[in-house]
Amino acid sequence: MGFQNILVAFDSSSYSNRAFRTALDVADANKSKITIATVLTGIYQPSIGFSMKYNKDDLVKYTKVIKKTVSNLESIAKKKNIKVSLKILQNPSVSTAIVNHVNSNKYDLVVMGSHGRTGLNKMILGSVANNVIQKVKSAVMMVK
């Protein structure tokens, strides 16, 4: 089974960096392309809580930061001749954003990092990884 179109869920954490490097290895072996997906979950406003209403300046600022981070990853991929693209998703729920995007597009593999939380921490914080695994139609690779 070949993986031609890989999505990497990326949040700039060490876990997502390891997931990206693992996806590079898979892409290199399969001559695949990689889409890096990151999710803007909203901004906190003390009066109303989280809101998805970004003003234009904030959206430009966040996009610039994300693109700078991803450009470093693109440089690494370019050395291996792997094409990388960026998809910025917006949703208050990271897992919902990833699931909806993956299920609406043709990805053969989703690669994502896992914090490895267990017990009470997992119950309180929830699990993006678990939700994605349960709800996407394509293969999922978890990297710790």
Query: What's this model's pTM, rounded to 2 decimal places?
Result: 0.86
Evaluate whether 107 touches 137 at the Cβ level (below 8 Å): no
pLDDT of 75 higher than 90: yes
Note whether 126 and 90 are within 8 A (CB). Answer: no
pLDDT in tens, 91-100: 888 999 999 9
Domains and CATH numbers, the chain: 5-143 (3.40.50.620)
pLDDT band at 125, cuts 50/70/90?
A: very low
HSE toward the beta carbon, residue 74, CA cutoff 13 A: 12
pLDDT, tens digit, 9 for 90 and up, residues 5-59: 999 999 988 999 999 999 999 999 999 999 999 998 866 555 555 555 666 777 7
